[in-house]
Amino acid sequence: MGLVAVCSRSTSRSSYACIMVTMMLLLAYMPCEALLSSTFYDKMCPNALNTIRTSIRTAVSSERRMAASLIRLHFHDCFVQGCDASILLDDAASATSERNALQNLRSARGYEVIEAAKSQVESIFPGVVSCADILAVAARDASVAVGGPTWTVKLGRRDSTSASLSQAETDLPRFSGGLEKIISLFDNKGLSARDMVALSGSHTIGQAQCVTFRDRIYNNASDIDAGFASTRKHRCPTNDGNGNLAPLDLVTPNSFDNNYFKNLIQRKGLLESDRVLFSGGSTDSIVSEYSKSPATFSSDFASAMVKMGDIEPLTGSSGVIRKLCSAIN
């Protein structure tokens, strides 16, 4: 109100200066994600995205499960300090690795795939493309590689010079999380309950370790299909096989589709954090909608990935461009 009043009283001689001040103030208050652009590398390194795409397609062709791992890696990066590639850092004097957080330890994977893509980009355009952007592009390309949706990735992120193990352990959802807790964690990052359910749909691909679902399949509760639980017990005994894997989607584990939501309605969600999405709570209607409309799910998933990619990026002179994604140069 004060700025408008000052401008209205300005003379014609000072009106230009007033307009310039107004523009500068508006720019100062613009959110940092506004500095991201899908064309950020078009002039500096026009083949960067094609180089990353080829690298990711090769990795997913070699191991279909890698698509889920790369999407999850981007997600776990953005939820800790923003989308800054902090999850890729090894332990160092200035950074305690987020890889050691309970939610990442022995489960987050794909680090070497991102490093390989970075190496290829560095060989053509050294010191230009950030690891944070490679993570964001890799998640999109991984989705497309298994039949999932595509989206326009905004670029221009820079890499952090630090990591936060403590923030990873508090801000990342857990496989045993309740619905309200999960909704709260996403809300803290500017993501709605609908965004959360859509992003959870990435469990249509990928696998989980026995230790993450053992309690659920052996609790003999009414919230799990008995036949489904019996099948899962074959590779997940009560006292052994913690690292044994099972697909999150029993029907089409290697294809990005909406069967995950159909499974939830049939009481065949593998993790407790899956089950709670359709358990008489506030997200039941969203699960039902996605189970009936794969197009709606795909569209919402893509939109939620774009929103997630906007979480607190480092831009401009903040951060660095790492030469190796696992180390601060």
> Which amino acids are annotated catalytic?
76
Is 223 known as a binding-site position? no
Is 280 known as a binding-site position? no
Is 77 known as a binding-site position? yes
Gap between the Cα atoms of 321 and 222, Å rounded: 51
If you write DSSP's letter for every residue of 168-216 in order, what string do you get? HHHHS--TT--HHHHHHHHHTTT--HHHHHHHHGGGGS-EEEHHHHHHH
Is 184 known as a binding-site position? no
Indicate the residue type of 169. Answer: E
Is 146 known as a binding-site position? no
Is 141 known as a binding-site position? no
Residue whose tokens read 């490679």? 134
Q: Take residue 198 and report the two structure tokens written for it.
A: 């859509």
Is 133 known as a binding-site position? no
Is 257 known as a binding-site position? yes
Q: Take residue 320 and report the two structure tokens written for it.
A: 């660095």
Is 80 known as a binding-site position? yes
Is 159 known as a binding-site position? no
Gap between the Cα atoms of 149 and 183, Å rounded: 24
Indicate the residue type of 47. Answer: N
Gap between the Cα atoms of 14 and 266, Å rounded: 69
* Binding positions: 77, 80, 82, 84, 86, 98, 173, 203-204, 249, 252, 257
* Binding positions for Ca(2+): 77, 80, 82, 84, 86, 98, 204, 249, 252, 257
* Binding positions for substrate: 173
* Binding positions for heme b: 203
